[in-house]
Amino acid sequence: MKKQTLRCFLKIIACFLFLCLHLFAYSQSSGSIVSKNHQPSIGGTNIYYYTPPAHLLLPDKIFASVVYTMGGKNFIQNIPIKRNNERFQFTISDLDSAHALVMGVTDGNRHVLDNNNGAGYIAFLYNKQGSIAPASYLEARDLLDWYASNTLLLDRAKVIPQMISFSETCYRISPGLMKDSYGYYLSLLYELKKEEVKPRLLAYAKELAAAENDEDKWLKAMYIFRDLGMVEERSAIENKGMSVYPNGKIAGNKYLGDLYDSPDSTEQNVLDKMAYYTKRFGDTSERMKYNFSYHMITVLVTMKKYDRLSSYERMASNSLGITKIYDFIANSLMNESVGENDDALINAKMLSLKSLNLTAIQIANRLPNQNDGMLERTCNKYLDTYAQILYRLKAYDSAFYYQSIVCDGNSDMSSEVLERYALYAEKAKGVEFAYRFIMDQLSTKTVTPSMLLQLKDICKNKGITDAVYDSARNVAAKIFREKSAAQIKKKFGTTKAEMFTLKNLDGQTVSMSQFKNKIIVLDFWATWCVPCKASFPKLQETINKYKNDTDVVFLTINTWENARPEEKSENVEDFIKKNHYTFNVLLDKNNQVVEQYKIKSVPTKVIIDKKSDIVYFGDTDDVGFEIENARN
């Protein structure tokens, strides 16, 4: 009996030590940022110690990117982190009214090295009374919602629970602060728990909608009904608001919203509407100026009155939105062009250069504590567009020059950017240069299917044996499978595909279980999605290619449609018939499948192999390579 007791005791000790070792390993795998002071103070000089995650390789120069709010505006400081007696430390000072900080660690090019596994490092500052003000938690929540998440590349799935927790902490300490942001709090809960929270959110929306003569509450109710996809309820409140307050916020928002759908054909039409709006609603805000300048520029570009654009660029203080118009239209014109002497391509070049020049002005005029890297990332995007246009114009040397700027020191560039660099390099630097670049990318595991096809042509032109290309393709296929598996497991926790059942346009029930031992291609899309529509000709081409291959099944899943249920299928069917597509369209009317697959944007394609494992998740137009890779 004593021996059994001793044996049991030793087992407990062993389990305890095993657990401790795992806890220690976990704590070492995560980094930390802690204050030297027990209570870091608002406006004070505060020293912080940084402990990087285990095995994280850091360059010689690293920075603490500190995001905060002061005077209602968001800022960022990039503070050098110094090593002092084997400890990393940095000092924050002169934040006179910031109460909460969200931090990450970056390199000299503002590339994120450590963001606490996507959750951000969060710290609070203490007031003169030696406590954290309740509103500080809402300040941290609001930073996480957008600015800090964008600048530090945070993971929203990890951020939302923190935002909810900060809201609840604030309301517990100071219930009075719940009044103005309770709807937002419920929306966060709904985003996390969906149907479980929907009754609470809906009840709150109805309570707001029932308020007497309170336009602000009606507006909040409208936003909630919009997020819940309740079109009729939202329209009813909008109509009531416009009737009770014909010159109020709801009517003004409706006017601005309808602006982009109006058939304005002249510059004077837009000016007349702007004068009418200003007089009726008494609104001369930056938001109003931006909306009208945006609309005016769209009208002028449609009319090809490019000489009038500059006048309205200066109308809005935030010209970044204007640069987005120019880049979008430049891309559209480039895709419409039929040759290097086409007017559309010449105009695309002019508009693309405008987007670059306006962005450069903003970079030059920003304050030091506004350098969050967003403008540089935006500028790289526009440079990429400009390089594409130059390539279409056969200005190969210039195209390669600008694409090189995009790639230089840019560790988080997309695979498409690398593909274009390889393509332009072949024209500007020669076949040998492009061959070496692609082989280097292969060794660093960043080669893409498009680059493999380019390598195949290069090998053929250089007289290199097929064995070299076949070897490279096998290496690339292994890389793609390993990368996809790691990314998919991180996203879903498993590579196994979720099973679902939906009805198609013919009213037939389609279940994933019907397609055992098949390669399944899922394409999530919506009728309002322009990139979805742009991708469909290539999708139809791929479907035609595999129409006699019984191993491959294509299912296009229509989702996120805002129309009433009975209208959704009609709209989708009209679109498919009008364009003569032969898609098997499944209707995700309640957005259940799009949530199952954690889709954040459309178009998104998911490829499932014969073992029901997800092997691809992305938005490429050409899935041919991924389908073939799924066979292996």
- Do 325 and 462 lie in one domain? The reply is yes
d(CA 516, CA 496): 13
548: DSSP letter: T
What pLDDT is attached to residue 7?
47
Name the one residue in this structure whose structure tokens are 């898609």.
583
Residue linked to tokens 């290069």: 458
- Segment 213-246, tens digit of pLDDT: 999 999 999 999 988 889 899 999 999 999 999 9
Residue 538 located in a structural domain: yes
Q: Greater confidence, 183 or 448?
A: 183
Domain boundary residue among 429, 455, 487?
487
Tell me: the pLDDT tens digits for 135-169? 999 999 999 999 999 999 999 989 999 999 999 99
Which CATH number does the domain housing residue 42 bear? 2.60.40
pLDDT at 302: 84
**Backbone phi, psi, residue 553, to 5°:** -125, 135
Runs of H (alpha helix) within 282-370: 286-303, 309-313, 320-336, 343-365
Quote the number of domains for the chain.
3
Decide if 175 is inside a domain: yes
In a domain, 197, yes or no: no
Describe the crossing of helices 374-392 and 415-429 by its angle, rounded to 10 degrees.
40
CA distances to 222, 246, 251 from 241, in Å: 10, 7, 7
Res 265: pLDDT: 81
Query: Residues 326, 389: one domain?
Result: yes
Max mean pLDDT range (8-12, 19-23, 258-262): 258-262
* Inter-residue contact 472 to 452 (CB < 8 Å): yes
Domain final residue, candidates 149, 180, 211: 180
Can you name the residues that pair with 84 across neighbouring β-strands? 87
Domain boundary, last residue among 433, 452, 487:
487
Residue 1 lies in a domain: no
Lowest model confidence (mean pLDDT) among 234-248, 287-301, 333-347, 526-540: 333-347
Residue 28: band (very low, low, confident or very high) from pLDDT cuts 50, 70, 90 = very low
pLDDT at 126 (0 to 100): 96
**pLDDT at residue number 21:** 32
Whole-number pLDDT of residue 564: 61
What pLDDT is stored for residue 14 in this prediction?
A: 38
Given a cut of 70, is residue 249 above it in pLDDT?
A: yes
Pairing of strands 100-106, 112-114: antiparallel
How many whole angstroms separate alpha carbon 389 and alpha carbon 348? 7
- pLDDT at residue 247 above 90? yes
Same domain, 438 and 325: yes
Preceding amide of 603 cis, omega within 30: yes
Does residue 578 sit within a domain? Answer: yes
- The reported pLDDT for the residue numbered 552 is 96
List pLDDT tens digits, range 255-295.
Answer: 998 887 778 789 999 999 999 999 999 999 988 988 898 88
Name the residue among 400, 480, 402, 406 with its Cα closest to residue 434.
Answer: 400
Residue 580 amino acid letter: H
pLDDT at 15 over 70: no
- Same structural domain, 445 and 474: yes
Instruction: Please check whether residues 557 and 471 belong to one and the same domain.
Output: no
Q: What is the pLDDT of residue 567?
A: 63
Range of the structural domain that residue 312 is part of: 307-487
Between CA 42 and CA 124 the distance in angstroms is 9
Overall average pLDDT of the 72-87 stretch: 89
Q: What is the rounded distance in angstroms from the CA atom of residue 285 to the CA atom of residue 280?
A: 14
One domain for residues 445 and 328: yes
Could you tell me if 477 and 512 lie in one domain? no
Per-residue pLDDT tens digits for 168-183: 999 999 999 998 889 9
pLDDT in tens, 188-205: 999 999 889 999 999 999
**Average model confidence (pLDDT) across the chain:** 87
Same domain, 601 and 550: yes
What average pLDDT does the segment 295-302 reach? 88
The confidence score (pLDDT) of residue 227 equals: 86
Confidence of residue 465 (pLDDT cuts 50, 70, 90): confident
User: Which two three-digit tokens encode residue 208?
Assistant: 């707001």
Are the C-beta atoms of residues 275 and 246 closer than 8 Å to each other? no
Q: What percent of the chain has pLDDT over 70?
A: 92
Q: Judge whether residue 338 has pLDDT over 90.
A: no
Q: What is the mean pLDDT of residues 515-535?
A: 90
pLDDT at 23: 32
Q: Which comes out higher in pLDDT, residue 446 or 606?
A: 606
Residue 2 lies in a domain: no
Question: Are residues 398 and 349 part of one domain?
Answer: yes
* CATH value at residue 576: 3.40.30.10
Give a yes or no: residue 25 inside a domain.
no
- Name residue, tokens 């979008």: 328
- Considering the domain architecture, whether residues 475 and 510 belong to the same structural domain is answered as no
If asked whether residues 166 and 103 sit together in one domain, one would say: yes
* Its pTM surpasses 0.75: no
Residue 566 confidence (pLDDT)? 61
More confident residue, 433 or 310: 433
In a domain, 226, yes or no: no
Distances (CA, A) of 626 to 11, 512, 604: 49, 20, 14
Alpha carbon distances (Å) from 5 to 2, 15, 60, 280:
5, 15, 55, 86
Residue 258 amino acid letter: D
Give tens-digit pLDDT for 561-581: 866 656 666 788 888 999 999
CATH code for position 372:
1.25.40.10
- d(CA 474, CA 145) in angstroms, rounded, equals 42
Same domain, 450 and 575: no
**316 or 492: which leads in pLDDT:** 492
- Rounded CA-CA distance 537/405 in Å is 32
